[in-house]
Amino acid sequence: MVEDAGCSENGTLKPSDSGLSQESRRSFLGVLLGLGVLFVGALLSVPLIRFALFPLLRRTTELKNSSVGELNEFSSLTEPMMRTIQIEQVDGWRKAISEKAVYVTKDSQGQLRVLTSICPHLGCTVPWNKEKNQFTCPCHGGTFTADGTRVSGPSLRGMDSLETSVQDGQLQVRFQYFRQLVSDKEVIG
Amino acid sequence: MHSTHKNESDDPPRPESGLWGWLNRRTGVDDLLRGALYEPIPGGARFAYIFGSGLLFIFLSQIITGVFLALYYVPSADHAHTTVAYITKAVTAGSFLRGLHAYGSSAMVIVLFLHLSQTYVYGAYKGRREILWLSGCVLFGLVMAMAFTGYLLPWDQKAYFATAVGTNAVSEVPWIGESIKRLMRGGTEMGTLTISRFFVAHVFLIPACIFALLASHIFLFRKAGAAGPVDEDPYHPEQKAELFYPRQVLMDLSLTALLIVGLGLLCFFVPMQLGPPANPADAQYVPRPEWYYLPIFQWLKYWHGSAAIIGVLVVPTLLVLAILALPFLDRSVERRPWKRPIAMGAYAFVLFSLVGLGLRSQYLDRHDSGVAQQLARQRAEENEYSHKPFEPELSSASLAAANVTLADPLAAKGKTIFERQSCNACHGDGGVGTAAAPVLIGVGTKLPPDQLAELFKHPTAKMTAGGMPPIDLPPDDVKALIAYVESLK
């Protein structure tokens, strides 16, 4: 071996060591080092993996709740009231704010209900027809009652209601899109 | 390398059988490992030789963390700061990885300086290692260029103003300085083109050069062989050699372990901060470069007017040339530092000058109460911003939509009609277009208002076929709708 004789100040091996035991000691050290490097490498890759998998483990795109208005504004509601809400859509490090029209109305028990103005048939915006006291879709003539129940027309279901909550006296709504042309309400994003 | 004591029979036996033997027969992996690990070191392993592989480790760490940071980073004046804030404040382990990368650059400069000092003090540039020294000098320059270009990328106040000062300093070079500055900035002022340029340099150009130079540096090192201790002959090593593996490997790994633990603790307990976004209009801001550029920063303060050429061009050029030419100027075979008073004196002089200039800069900042207060304010702002929760950037599309409603009440009315009439059901919100109907953005610039009104009343055959109904609205509403369509740009 190279280390033994001449390199006295650094030499670790005694001349009496046989070649075989040096070799086995060296390969044992090699395995130990290899395992050590693998272990430290694995440890160091933990933050890297967590960093790269962040979009898989957390929601990076989300729709924030939007405020519809003060709760007491809707206490004496007699017919659906149109409100334009601002929807904050977060997409990674950016957000987009868009506006959508919704209707605040009351169901048969008198509970507040927020309807999306998107027709469940083909997605047109449904206006409230005051004279006829019903929603009438301008595209294909679908009609709905004040609480969104289907009356007539090509739509397979009534107008879609949105998830609501009340926070600090504010009526909040979670805007969502629903699949069109099906009889069951199905969220698509 | 005639005097190294290595020969084939000294090496451990080669694997012939088993999985490893097969793998080696197919790939030569054992021969590669053998080549890498059984490098003879004249005079034996020492802690003095650990810095080169320490640098290799930091470089590797910078590549890996850099590639991962690029998963979220966007090199543009609009988004750079937001994306770095997102990395730091929102993404899991983002603050830690960014810290590793940013502190890693400082660690790189420190270990690089130790590596260079060891080479210099040990006279390891002598004899057969001239080109090795030259390639090392170029690598030093490239690493400093990496530090300079990377510093701008977060686009916070500190980064912006330090780079503004740094690129301004370049313009002091006579004749071509102004052109170089504009080339670096991508214009006369700092802006989004500056970020693009610095990003390309930091991520593509300089790393490519470093890869090439590093490969040649390691090749030349193996070609020349390890220098050994100071009493070793620089041309013909005579001392008994010890192989790189295992003892030198262990010593090298001890530095790597120290770097991992040190950087890890630093990133964990002292997270790298991010200041508020760059505000070029801020006239109060006092720019200061990163610590390793302080000596140059201080040095440049002393040279103004007609004398600038000496401080900015003559002295640095002479210094760089002297460093490059060192192995050709210093031809003596004497390597022991105590027998090289001129070389050691020059080293001490440069070292003390650098430290002295850096300390002087710090001293002046501390003793100018105006500057000291402003720097304290900047640190406080940086600290405050770093602790604010992440705020997503408002996309420009929603800003444009908001501006329309603010700017023109008629267009705003048109927007409500557009939505109430379900125009957006087919043409999309804001007229962006859908599969069912074309984009309306820009239509207003192609068609005059009266032609639009005509199309609203009497759509063309093609439009009718696509499902566009004639619009039957009061004239005022049609006017508003046209104003809205005109505003879609």
Kindly report the average pLDDT of chain A as a whole number: 82
Q: Which of B6, B91, B155 to mutate to test the interface with A (most CBs of A within 10 A)?
A: B91
CATH no. for B39-387: 1.20.810.10
* pLDDT score recorded for residue A5: 37
Query: What residues of chain A lie within 8 A of the CB of B245, using their CB?
Result: 26, 30
* pLDDT score recorded for residue B9: 46
Within 183-202 of B, beta carbons closer than 8 Å to A belong to none
* pLDDT score recorded for residue A127: 83
Residue A3 has pLDDT above 50, yes or no: no
Q: Which of B53, B92, B247 to mutate to test the interface with A (most CBs of A within 10 A)?
A: B92
| pLDDT band, residue B141 (cuts 50/70/90) | very high
Of B251, B250, B246, B229, the residue nearest B238 (C-alpha): B229
Contact B73, B224 (CB under 8 A): no
Interatomic CA distance for residues B74 and B82, integer angstroms:
9
| pLDDT band, residue B398 (cuts 50/70/90) | low
Residue B434 has pLDDT above 80, yes or no: no
Phi-psi region of A90 (alpha: psi -120 to 50; beta: other; left: phi over 0): beta
Question: Measured between CB atoms, which of B13, B83, B397 is closest to A96?
Answer: B397
pLDDT one-digit tens code per residue, B61-92: 999 999 999 999 999 999 999 999 999 999 99
Q: Which of A105-119, B191-205, B432-446, B474-488 has the lowest mean pLDDT?
A: B432-446
| Annotated domain spans of chain B | 39-387, 396-487
Kindly report the average pLDDT of chain B as a whole number: 90
Q: Which of A145-149, B20-24, B227-231, B485-489 has the lowest mean pLDDT?
A: B485-489
A42 in reach of chain B (CB within 8 A): no
Contact B428, B461 (CB under 8 A): no
* Token code pair at residue B126: 């002598």
| pLDDT band, residue B399 (cuts 50/70/90) | low
DSSP 3-state assignment of A62?
strand
* pLDDT score recorded for residue B294: 95
Within 398-417 of B, beta carbons closer than 8 Å to A belong to 398, 401-402, 416
The mean per-residue pLDDT over the stretch B156-183 comes to 92
A139 to chain B: closest CA residue: B422
* pLDDT score recorded for residue B453: 87
* pLDDT score recorded for residue B406: 56
Tell me, yes or no, if the two domains B39-387 and B396-487 fold the same way.
Answer: no
Contact B480, B410 (CB under 8 A): yes
Query: What residues of chain B lie within 8 A of the CB of A135, using their CB?
Result: none
Tally C-beta pairs within 8 A across A and B: 137
Distances (CA, A) of B365 to B88, B304, B378: 29, 20, 13
Percent of chain B topping pLDDT 70: 94
Interatomic CA distance for residues B275 and A66, integer angstroms:
31
* pLDDT score recorded for residue A107: 83
User: Could you tell me which residues are beta bridge partners of residue A97?
Assistant: A88
> Across the interface, do B44 and A3 touch by the CB < 8 Å criterion?
yes
B274 in reach of chain A (CB within 8 A): no
Which of the pair, B266 or B9, is modelled with greater confidence? Answer: B266
Query: What residues of chain A lie within 8 A of the CB of B79, using their CB?
Result: 93-94
Of B469, B434, B423, B489, the residue nearest B414 (C-alpha): B423
B230 in reach of chain A (CB within 8 A): no
CATH no. for A61-174: 2.102.10.10
Of B184, B162, B200, B205, the residue nearest B76 (C-alpha): B200
Within 30-89 of B, beta carbons closer than 8 Å to A belong to 40, 43-46, 64-65, 68, 71-72, 79, 82-83, 85-86
* pLDDT score recorded for residue B2: 44
**Number of CB atoms found within 10 A of residue B271's CB:** 16
Query: What residues of chain B lie within 8 A of the CB of A50, using their CB?
Result: 92-93
| Those residues with Cβ within 8 angstroms of residue B274's Cβ, 6 or more apart along the chain or in another chain | B81, B84, B85, B88, B154, B156, B382, B385, B386
Residue A10 has pLDDT above 70, yes or no: no
Place of tokens 């509970």: A111
* pLDDT score recorded for residue B403: 56
Within 118-157 of A, beta carbons closer than 8 Å to B belong to 118-119, 122-127, 138-139
Q: Are strands A94-106 and B393-394 parallel, antiparallel or unpaired?
A: parallel
A61 to chain B: closest CA residue: B392
Interatomic CA distance for residues B42 and B4, integer angstroms:
7
Query: What residues of chain A lie within 8 A of the CB of B44, using their CB?
Result: 3, 7, 9-11
Interatomic CA distance for residues B459 and A119, integer angstroms:
24
Q: Are strands A143-144 and A66-70 parallel, antiparallel or unpaired?
A: unpaired
Q: Looking at the domain B396-487, which fold is it?
A: Cytochrome Bc1 Complex; Chain D, domain 2 (1.10.760)
Query: What residues of chain B lie within 8 A of the CB of A40, using their CB?
Result: 257, 260
- Per DSSP, A63 falls in state E
Contact B122, B48 (CB under 8 A): yes
pLDDT one-digit tens code per residue, B269-325: 999 999 999 999 998 999 999 999 999 999 999 988 788 888 888 999 999 999 999
Which of the pair, A129 or A6, is modelled with greater confidence? Answer: A129
| pLDDT band, residue B6 (cuts 50/70/90) | very low
ipTM value for the complex: 0.81
